[in-house]
Structure 1
Amino acid sequence: MQPHPPEAHRTHRTGWLRAAVLGANDGIVSTASLIVGIAASQATQHDVLLAGVAGLVAGAMSMAAGEYVSVSSQADTEKADLARERKELEENHPYELNELTEIYIQRGLDPLLAEQVATQLMAHDALGTHALEELGISTQGSARPLQAAFTSATTFAIGAALPLLTALFAPGPFIARAVSSSSLLFLALLGIVAAYTGGSSLLKGAVRVTFWGALAMGLTAGAGALFGAAV
């Protein structure tokens, strides 16, 4: 019998995919909303572009800092849990063996087989086995602060550049309309790409991001028109 080729799974993509989609989505939505809101206040095209550039730079740095701090906190928690588990394995190995055995029994193995599996796995990699089975920490899913920060900042900047370029080339009176319509198209494409990469529904992915993007731009345009008229 010929061996089957390894199955292709997508779970290893969740870390960078989340950061990439979040960054690009925020870049498009926040910058497009900012541009549409400023344009709705009857500002000049120069002022609109200036606000867009400022939003791109500030947003990219904010995304990088936010992701780094958030994921660093997750990484610190994982390290603390692993250090505690390592100490428990050194001080009370039999108890940890029984604990792992109970986990496998609860998953459906009979007690004798569960103990054999736990013994063999702990002999091979006790800490790695307990990290995965007890703490839910795996090598593929472990926190990577720098990767998350760089991915979020880069994808935010790319996403923000799309409405900004549209505002640059659109005629002054039509900036708001051009940016909002093109940004909705960009968001739909982003949702489709993200859904395809993650193996989920393309339609659902597209509708999900375009709905919230349209809502954000609509509310910001209303605020810009209201306060612009008041000023």
Structure 2
Amino acid sequence: MDGMSTELLYRTDAYATEAEARVVSAAPEGVVLDRTLFYARAGGQPGDAGTLRWDGGEMAVSEALKGENGTVLHLPAEGASLPPVGATVRMALDWPRRHRLMRMHTSLHLLCSLIPGAGVTGGQIGADRSRLDFDLPEPPTKEALTEGLRALVAANHPVTESWVDEAELDTNPGLVRTLSVKPPRGAGVVRLVRIGEGEAPVDLQPCGGTHVRATGEIGTVTVTKLENKGKQNRRVYLVLED
């Protein structure tokens, strides 16, 4: 791409569902655009799916992945035609799937807030079920966690983002809850996702994923299962019921 990275449109508006872009390269391994609405798989959040349409054709996108040099690869579904290089395409997200992943991801941040001080050793965001693993000898009960999550959802806390210098993050390492995945660094700034307002928010931590605008948008969430995955590794599963 001659050193040009893909512009990430979801960074400025995670609710945009359609937009135009130019095809930079196209191969069976993935289509690179100059800008994209598609979140590339990272941090436990799956890549987006959807469609690219152009004059005379369309391509179903099975998932978006990270490419080289800051690019995003839009993987063509099996048997799909590739767009011509240089063509203008109309991107369309599989919005119901993306929005459900946003609701799930925000739910996991709330789950972190209910288990303060415990490092997160792993996690996976799914449309049907998600999980987090905690470095914790004994977690709260699933009933207590469900009650806590539903209270935070009902309070409809705002979800916002800001950017801080990497040096500032270094002075407050406690912001980083994940032990297995570190926030992306090297650009000089790190994105923080804040749930709640004031000096003591519900949750504040580095994250590159997509989230809903307020916790009330999550809907009914339930912790369904707790698993012992090691001496101090506790796995917590949750689902959305609508």
Query: What TM-score range do you get, normalising by the shorter chain?
Result: under 0.3
TM-score in terms of structure 2 length: 0.23
Which of the pair has more CA radius of gyration?
1
Q: Which has the higher helix share?
A: 1
Q: Which structure ranks higher in relative contact order (CA pairs < 8 Å, sequence separation ≥ 6)?
A: 1
Structure richer in strand, relative to its length? 2
Q: TM-score normalised to the size of structure 1?
A: 0.24
